[in-house]
């Protein structure tokens, strides 16, 4: 039986998971593919760092050339993260006619088209299942099993760290900082966790999916992005008062020849299927013209789920060293900044943090002058000392929310979409509870 030698760029959380599972499942993979798959070298930055997998000293290298010039290594797995030097090493591997498997969403979101073109030119494969949704097989499903469908939207939870943190804050009442530390300890967070909590990571993944299914090529600049950094336990509490939960939702829609991309926290109804997606789980609903809606759910981050996606890509290379799927023909986006009418948000969750306590009478008075009778406002809660107030507001004009906030001399205001149904069942008039 032939042995396939793999070179790893990186031996952190994901790299260690790949090594462990290739060892554990070596016989199983051999029986299913007819190949033995073994990692020969791993590129690291330190020889002395403690690792979750024990490897012989000669296995590690700090010189990328050890992998790049080794003729035995036919598949390179890039799990180091970041743009450089990952991009340079991947290009060098492709130029050396090695297949590349990567989990690097940031690199793909920023340089995906050029790397894919290089792989196609060199006649080798560049696979990236692990870059979106951790262990969920969403990338190949979209590429290979929805080719005859036209996709109209993708909506989901694409960042395991944020979802884990929001769940911990909701269920165990832990602070934002403690929840983040926990996510880092569990290996879910990026090396720079700002990428997770500021919504960049989810935006990279949304862009990768969007560019696979829509005929218009988008860039990171086309994404409206907001992360969970401003979310407080009060938001989670106010959300529960109206049977909602806070989730970081990534959404891509293709309407009238334009792609609309948005990553933001949202108050979603607790009966929304995404509301039950907890902890590190991710979920993606794809809507397509022939098949209808398909929902995928699974662990979106962590050592083993991500290793699973990488190994399935390695197996895919063994089965099909030449791609059989034609990429979608795309044209560049033009004039996409105008949101189409039905995508415009009209219902908002608003939290106002004030420097001094304020009475409900005063809030009521400001509301009367700030909002029209046709607009709807409910106060859904306030913190113990009335310093933090939560509202649901239905308005055609987001500016009026800011005007209302300014009148209260608030020091901080958080506004994001509300997707529950409490406002729709109210009569059209401003009111305070």
Ligand X SMILES: N[C@@H](CC=O)C(=O)O
Active site residues: 205
Q: In whole angstroms, what is the distance from residue 103 CA to residue 83 CA?
A: 12
102 vs 87, 112, 282, CA distance in Å?
11, 11, 19
Which span sits near ligand NDP by CB under 6 A: 13-21, 230-238, 284-292, 349-357?
Answer: 13-21
Q: Which residues contact 194 (CB under 8 A, 6 or more apart)?
A: 200
Of 196 and 375, the one with the shorter C-beta distance to ligand NDP is: 196
**CA-closest candidate to residue 288, choices 415, 146, 78, 412:** 146
Our finding on whether 201 is near ligand X (CB under 6 A) is yes
Q: Reply yes or no: is the peptide bond before residue 224 cis, omega within 30 of 0.
A: no
3-state secondary structure of 261: strand
Our finding on whether 188 is near ligand NDP (CB under 6 A) is yes
Exactly one of 3, 24, 31, 45 binds ligand NDP (CB under 6 A); that residue is 45
Of 208 and 393, the one with the shorter C-beta distance to ligand NDP is: 208
Query: How many other CB atoms are found less than 10 A from the CB of residue 161?
Result: 28
Annotated binding-site members for NADPH: 105
Record the tokens describing residue 5, joined without a space. 């030698």
Our finding on whether 10 is near ligand NDP (CB under 6 A) is yes
Of 195 and 287, the one with the shorter C-beta distance to ligand X is: 195
Q: Burial, 103: exposed, middle or buried (Cβ in 10 Å; 0-12, 13-18, 19+)?
A: buried
Our finding on whether 250 is near ligand NDP (CB under 6 A) is no
| Total residues at interface with ligand X (CB under 6 A) | 11
Annotated binding-site members: 105, 190
Of 39 and 158, the one with the shorter C-beta distance to ligand X is: 158
**In whole angstroms, how close is the CB of 43 to ligand NDP at the nearest point?**
5
Exactly one of 29, 76, 119, 130 binds ligand NDP (CB under 6 A); that residue is 130
Q: Map tokens 């699974």 to a residue.
A: 298
Q: Do residues 430 and 371 lie in contact, with contact meaning Cβ atoms separated by under 8 Å?
A: yes
**Site residues for ligand NDP, window 52-111 (CB under 6 A)?**
79-81, 85, 103-105
Of 161 and 383, the one with the shorter C-beta distance to ligand NDP is: 161
Our finding on whether 306 is near ligand NDP (CB under 6 A) is yes
Our finding on whether 298 is near ligand NDP (CB under 6 A) is no
Exactly one of 112, 156, 265, 302 binds ligand NDP (CB under 6 A); that residue is 302
Report the partner that residue 287 touches, choosing among ligand NDP, ligand X, none (CB closer than 5 to 8 A by kind). Answer: none
Binding string to ligand X for residues 140 to 179, with x set by CB under 6 A, is what?
Answer: -------------------xxx------------------
Q: Which helix (H) or strand (E) holds 16?
A: helix 13-24
Of 165 and 377, the one with the shorter C-beta distance to ligand X is: 165
Q: Which residues contact 291 (CB under 8 A, 6 or more apart)?
A: 146, 149
Our finding on whether 129 is near ligand NDP (CB under 6 A) is no
Our finding on whether 46 is near ligand NDP (CB under 6 A) is yes
Annotated binding-site members for L-homoserine: 190
Report the partner that residue 161 touches, choosing among ligand X, ligand NDP, none (CB closer than 5 to 8 A by kind). Answer: ligand X
Our finding on whether 300 is near ligand X (CB under 6 A) is yes
Of 163 and 395, the one with the shorter C-beta distance to ligand X is: 163
Binding string to ligand X for residues 176 to 195, with x set by CB under 6 A, is what?
Answer: ------------xxx-----
**In whole angstroms, how close is the CB of 188 to ligand X at the nearest point?**
5
3-state secondary structure of 265: strand
Exactly one of 112, 187, 193, 265 binds ligand NDP (CB under 6 A); that residue is 187
Our finding on whether 78 is near ligand X (CB under 6 A) is no
Our finding on whether 134 is near ligand X (CB under 6 A) is yes
Our finding on whether 193 is near ligand NDP (CB under 6 A) is no
Binding site for ligand X (CB under 6 A): 134, 159-161, 188-190, 196, 201, 300-301
Binding site for ligand NDP (CB under 6 A): 10-15, 43-46, 49, 79-81, 85, 103-105, 130, 134, 187-188, 190-191, 301-302, 306
């Amino acid at each position: 039986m032939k042995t396939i030698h793999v070179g790893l760029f990186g031996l952190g959380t994901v790299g260690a998971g790949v090594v462990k599972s290739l060892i554990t499942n070596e016989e199983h993979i051999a029986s299913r593919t007819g190949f033995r798959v073994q990692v020969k070298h791993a590129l690291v930055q330190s020889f002395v760092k403690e690792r979750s997998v024990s490897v012989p000293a000669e296995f590690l290298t700090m010189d990328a050339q050890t992998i790049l010039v080794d003729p035995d290594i036919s598949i390179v797995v890039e799990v180091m993260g970041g743009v450089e030097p990952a991009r340079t090493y991947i290009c060098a591997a492709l130029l050396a006619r090695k297949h590349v498997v990567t989990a690097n969403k940031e690199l793909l979101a920023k340089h995906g088209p050029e790397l894919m073109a290089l792989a196609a030119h060199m006649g080798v494969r560049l696979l990236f299942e692990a870059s979106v949704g951790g262990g969920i097989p969403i990338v190949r499903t979209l590429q290979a099993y929805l080719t005859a469908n036209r996709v109209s939207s993708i909506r989901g939870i694409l960042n395991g760290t944020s979802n884990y943190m929001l769940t911990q804050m909701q269920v165990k009442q832990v602070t934002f900082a403690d929840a983040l530390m926990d996510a880092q300890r569990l290996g879910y967070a990026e090396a720079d966790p700002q990428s997770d909590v500021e919504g960049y990571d989810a935006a990279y993944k949304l862009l990768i999916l969007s560019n696979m299914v829509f005929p218009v090529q988008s860039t990171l600049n086309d994404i409206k992005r907001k992360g969970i950094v401003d979310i407080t336990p009060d938001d989670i509490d106010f959300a529960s008062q109206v049977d909602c939960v806070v989730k970081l939702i990534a959404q891509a829609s293709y309407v009238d020849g334009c792609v609309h991309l948005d990553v933001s926290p949202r108050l979603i109804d607790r009966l929304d299927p995404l509301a039950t997606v907890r902890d590190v789980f991710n979920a993606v609903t794809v809507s397509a013209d022939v098949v209808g809606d398909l929902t995928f759910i699974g662990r979106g981050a962590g050592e083993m789920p991500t290793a699973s996606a990488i190994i399935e890509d390695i197996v895919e290379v063994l089965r099909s060293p030449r791609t059989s799927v034609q990429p979608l023909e795309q044209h560049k986006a033009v004039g996409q900044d105008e949101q189409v009418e039905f995508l415009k948000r009209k219902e908002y969750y608003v939290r106002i943090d004030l420097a001094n306590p304020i009475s409900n009478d005063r809030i009521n008075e400001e509301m009367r002058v700030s909002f029209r009778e046709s607009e709807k406002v409910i106060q859904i809660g306030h913190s113990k000392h009335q310093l933090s107030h939560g509202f649901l507001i239905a308005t055609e004009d987001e500016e009026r929310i800011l005007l209302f906030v300014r009148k209260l001399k608030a020091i901080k205001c958080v506004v994001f979409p509300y997707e529950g149904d409490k406002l729709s069942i109210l009569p059209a008039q401003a009111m305070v509870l």
